[in-house]
Amino acid sequence: MEKGIFEGLKVLDCASFIAAPAAATVLSDFGADVIKIEPPGAGDPYRNLPNLPGYPQSEHNFAWMLEARNKRSLALDLSKPEGQAVLHKLAAEADVFITNYPPQVRERLGITHAHLAPNNERLIYASFTGYGEKGEEANKPGFDSNAYWARSGLMDLVRADENTTPARSIAGMGDHPCAMAFYGAIVTALYKRERTGKGSHVASNLMANGVWAASVLVQAKLVGAKFGERRPRERALNAVTNHYQCKDGRWLILSLLNEDKQWPTLARILGREDLVTDPRFETKKERHARSLELIKISTRPLRPKTSPNGARPSTATGWCSASSAFSTTFRTTSR
């Protein structure tokens, strides 16, 4: 295999569950030498994740395979002075130290930036938390289900309306994009070190990344925007940025953002060219004003004109024909 750009980079992964170790994994994918620090005995608790109720059953530890690939493990009891001494020696020779221990735990174990940086001025110290490095919640444990998904507002904002039961996040759904943000912070610090010769402390957290994921609406709130009623799909304000259930039970989502160009194509594919010239839906303004009417039309059985190979698909429900044939046709004809 081709050597990675980070070949020779020494990384200490002193973290668990999931974002911080995953950032170390990405570094390893690009050639970094990563040593994972684990407690003696059972090791990193993340090793046991697939054994928890509700996870897919497998003879393979799929979670550990994903997050711990390419890494070497070292068991250290960091509650003991001798374990801390070994870690300090490793950190003195490392390029990157990654942890997601809360600040007060780092202090107790002697692994804060202030403890490690004096022995290695080139060290990139990268810390990850649930709610940030400062403030009354700095030491609060956080997972992506609460800190990223719920506290950021994402869990509420994705609901069809205020009466719909909130949806749970899946394992790692927030952690993995957070890992990429954390990786970006580490790489930025490495670039700074190339220019200055000095290491630095970079940090990120789950809630900040969750707020960033929801930032379009967060920014709207910050500038005092007026929020309207949250509407279920049956009463959506735009029928062509909506989702529809197909005859086979699957769902198709439409995202027509260039309606002037794409609306005639959609109508033609569905065999409903009459809708293009229908005065009720002829312009974008009229389609939006009559969105509920257009949604009702879309839920009736329709027969698309042709599929990509010229065959005529069976009757479909709403916008959904044989949905794969429809989506293929639309991609190839709407550019």
In angstroms, rounded to a whole number, what is the distance separating the alpha carbons of residues 229 and 135?
34
In angstroms, rounded to a whole number, what is the distance separating the alpha carbons of residues 83 and 33?
21
Strand ranges in 67-159 using DSSP code E only, listed in sequence order: 72-75, 96-99, 124-129
In angstroms, rounded to a whole number, what is the distance separating the alpha carbons of residues 145 and 133?
19
* CA torsion through residues 278, 282, 286, 290, sign: positive
Q: What is the CA radius of gyration of the chain?
A: 26
Contact (Cβ atoms closer than 8 angstroms) between residue 324 and residue 309:
no
Q: Can you read off the two tokens belonging to residue 137?
A: 């919640």
List the catalytic residue out of 161, 175, 248, 260. 175
User: Is 175 labeled as catalytic in the residue annotation?
Assistant: yes
Give kind and range of the element (H or E) at residue 57: none
Residue 130: CA count within 13 A, CB half-sphere: 19
Distances (CA, A) of 77 to 30, 33, 35, 58, 133: 29, 22, 15, 30, 24
Active site residue ranges: 175
